[in-house]
Structure 1
Amino acid sequence: MKPLLKVRTVTLGLSLLPNQPDAWDLELARAAAFVSSARRRLEDAGYEVQTTRISSQSFESWVDVSDATAALEAFRRLDATLLRLGVGLFNAGPATSPEGLALVPQIVALGPRISASGAMPGPLDRAAASRLADAILTISQTTAGGEGNFQFCASFNTPFFPASYHEGASPSFAIGCETSELLAHAMPRAGGDLPRAKALLVDTFTDQLLPLQAIARQLSQAHAPAVRGPTLAQAWTRPGDPAQAHGLQYDGIDASVAPMGDASPLTGSFESLGLGSFGQSGTLAAAALVTGALKELPVDTCGYCGLMLPPLEDAGLARGAADGAYRIHDLLAYSAVCGLGLDTVPVPGDVPKAKLAALLLDVAALAFRLNKPLTARLFPVPGKAAGDAVEFENPHLCSSAVFDVP
């Protein structure tokens, strides 16, 4: 049977050496070779692979952010290397200092390839929230249509792109899935029986993920990046570590329900449970049901591995936002039992920085109180007010309406 799920991404994580652009070029070439090979292997097995990605540790550890001019020049060279290698998505990790965060809008403005995040260190850090809000607003004013915020988010304990990052000296890889079709396949068959819906989800996900897991393990054991270089024989291996002897470390599968493109709308799957329309009473219970199923999967999992409700990446959520079926704080309430916080949420272009910072503090309060991985990827849309219709050039974003920030 043709797989119901799609491979949202093959993501390779690596650590870059400080201030060594020549070494970056070689590491990125190896990484590009691996994800390209992994894509071909998965496509040969019948999977649609939507993206491949590379993530590093925080760029503040390999670029001197105290010299903004030199740092930006290093990123220009990096961007040119990514373009030459055909790497479409690279995450430079989180900014953790005011100097690093101030650099992010200029990095994002270089083009669509490089993403980054800004880490929120705690729940009551008003100054940090204000700096994050300033970065969001600056990106909205310096990129076409404010769409550069697709490449940036405020992060709270989360590893999910664009807040992903790599830790450790050795490279590793993970696979992320687009699993909306699995919900559409399983949930309507429950006939409104909630425990049965959860059991069907666990069974469906398990059946679909185990073959993918087998391929990932094969990639880890057998792959050697086909890139010439004087140290290629030792590339990405640690001497004396048998687990690294034949290829790259495999971290697992992020089985998150993360809609993208023309996937079956999550709203339809939720509403098949008979609890009402998305946004009405019962929505929180449905979100908890899906999240609970994902946490019981008997497969190698990693990353966020939860339910995401991004208004601009799911056609049903986008329509609901345009119809006023739910509000921005409803999304926060749902995040208490799932996630991902406030992801791809359009807000007025003239939203005051203080109000945006207060909203970020709300997300931080939830993330740190519940020890949950959340993000805030907010899109202030220039020239748009709350309730206005909005469209985007980015083909991954749905047309919707601007949320009010109360």
Structure 2
Amino acid sequence: MINIRTITYNLPKKFGKIEFDIMDKCINEWNKNKYLIRTTRISTVPINTIPKDNYYDPLEEFCDNHNINWYSIPVNLNSKKQNELIDFSYNMIKTREKVFINIDGAKDSNMYFDVIDKYIDLMNKVAHISENGKDNFRLGLSINTIEDEPFFPFAKSSGIFSFTIGLELTQEINKIIDENSNCNFEELRKKIITKIDKQITEIEKYAEKVSRKYHIQFKGFDFSLAPYMEENGSIIELIEKLGIKVFDGPGIMFVTSFLTNILKSFGNKHKKIGFSGVMYSLLEDYKLCEINNNKAIYLEDLIKLSTMCGCGIDMIPIKDSVSKEVLKSYILDIAAISCRLEKPLGVRFLPIPNNPEYTSLNEFSNFITNTKLVKLNKNTLITNGIKEFKFLDINKTVL
């Protein structure tokens, strides 16, 4: 049976008792259903100025009282208050353990070079809040992401009071492949779609029931394959069953595209929102971490897969001594893929203080494991003096 990774509630700009009461009733309603719900989260609208003191206190209290795992604050650094917003973001991560910060690095295919610079500065500062660098788990850079995406750290509310659901399909698809090991790709695709679609339909009916009963909009599912720390929870385990024995070898682009195509096909019948792709999230996939420990994962391979998969480069532990210019070059590769292919992607690095060989991130053991730090190559791009960049529209440009 498939699980629910997250139910994410998206708040309007002005929120209070009415929204809290409705969320309370929805949470109680969902607790009656048969599906395992891993997390409950809340997303707020993007800010471009510093909120009033104590603005988030009622939300923090609600989260504490209702076992809400986290809430997201999207920050628009393309603002005159850029430096103040950076300080605000740092202080929120440092002082509030339930806060995730989501920064827009590109929107509508406009790449904000100066914002990317500020994100890297913030990331490096956040890395030293804790000795093991854990806190960048709660900081992400969004590249052309969609409003009301349920998965953190890339969530941001559209301002319409609603909820979205991030599904957990990896374990179930692993089991389906095990049960049909003699099937070819066409036969396997049919069996996956038939079995998963039936379960999605049941969850969708329940979601629409909650929506009607409590007058809150249900905006849809993110169908992404996200890894989880339990048996059959690894994406790598899944693709190995499809013939991929060497992670950086041939066939992985086809297999990733095969799986992504299946995930996106669910959106033809059901409400879809967000990435809906294969998430090669390093620290969240124990088998991917094993590969990294044994032979090293190259970030260029994960970037290549971003042309086919869901989330970009996510949960990548690196040395805290990597230069801003090198990090920016990697981020701009993701931004280029996102803008040219018109697909949402994200970036989440974890610089680890004092450059140990391995991470020691034990606080989030349900979601992440440990691995070697990833070594980065050192190309640096000439981006001086550029605040914003956009590729030419080749359909309109006349030379």
TM bucket (normalised to shorter chain) is: 0.7 to 0.9
Distance between the aligned counterparts of 1:191 and 1:275, measured in 2?
16
Distance between the aligned counterparts of 1:27 and 1:95, measured in 2?
27
- Counterparts in 2 of 1:3-402, with a 5 A limit? 4-17=1-14, 24-27=15-18, 29-30=20-21, 32-42=23-33, 46-60=34-48, 64-65=49-50, 71=52, 73-75=54-56, 78-80=59-61, 82-96=63-77, 97=79, 98=82, 99-121=84-106, 125-158=112-145, 159=149, 160-168=151-159, 170-188=160-178, 189-191=180-182, 193-223=184-214, 247-264=215-232, 265-297=234-266, 298-324=269-295, 326-384=297-355, 388-392=357-361, 393-395=363-365, 396-402=367-373
Residues 27 and 401 (structure 1), Cα distance of their counterparts in 2 relative to 1, 3 Å cut: farther
Distance between the aligned counterparts of 1:330 and 1:26, measured in 2?
47
Residues 72 and 280 (structure 1), Cα distance of their counterparts in 2 relative to 1, 3 Å cut: farther
Distance between the aligned counterparts of 2:246 and 2:22, measured in 1?
44
Give, in angstroms, the shift of residue 30 of structure 1. 2.5
Give, in angstroms, the shift of residue 195 of structure 1. 2.4
Asked if the contact 2:105/2:113 (under 8 Å) is kept, the reply is no
Deviations 1:322-373 (A, max 9, x none): 2235311111111101121111111112222222222211211111111111
Q: What is the TM-score normalised by the length of structure 1?
A: 0.82
Distance between the aligned counterparts of 1:87 and 1:31, measured in 2?
14
* Residues matched between the structures, number: 361
Residues 76 and 13 (structure 1), Cα distance of their counterparts in 2 relative to 1, 3 Å cut: closer
The unaligned stretches of length 5 or more in structure 1 are: 18-23, 224-246
- Matched AA of 2:133: G
Give, in angstroms, the shift of residue 71 of structure 1. 4.8
- Matched AA of 2:173: L
Distance between the aligned counterparts of 1:35 and 1:317, measured in 2?
36
Residues 192 and 139 (structure 1), Cα distance of their counterparts in 2 relative to 1, 3 Å cut: farther
Give, in angstroms, the shift of residue 377 of structure 1. 0.8
- Matched AA of 1:309: Y
Asked if the contact 2:132/2:353 (under 8 Å) is kept, the reply is yes
Distance between the aligned counterparts of 2:62 and 2:191, measured in 1?
45
Give me the identity figure in percent: 22
3-state SS, counterpart of residue 259 of structure 1: coil
Residues 287 and 34 (structure 1), Cα distance of their counterparts in 2 relative to 1, 3 Å cut: farther
2:394 match? none
Give, in angstroms, the shift of residue 161 of structure 1. 1.7
The unaligned stretches of length 5 or more in structure 2 are: 378-399
Distance between the aligned counterparts of 1:312 and 1:210, measured in 2?
31
- Matched AA of 2:68: V
Q: What is the TM-score normalised by the length of structure 2?
A: 0.84
Deviations 1:154-209 (A, max 9, x none): 100123421111114x4111111111112202234253622223223222321221
- Matched AA of 2:311: L
Distance between the aligned counterparts of 1:300 and 1:73, measured in 2?
36
Residues 76 and 222 (structure 1), Cα distance of their counterparts in 2 relative to 1, 3 Å cut: closer
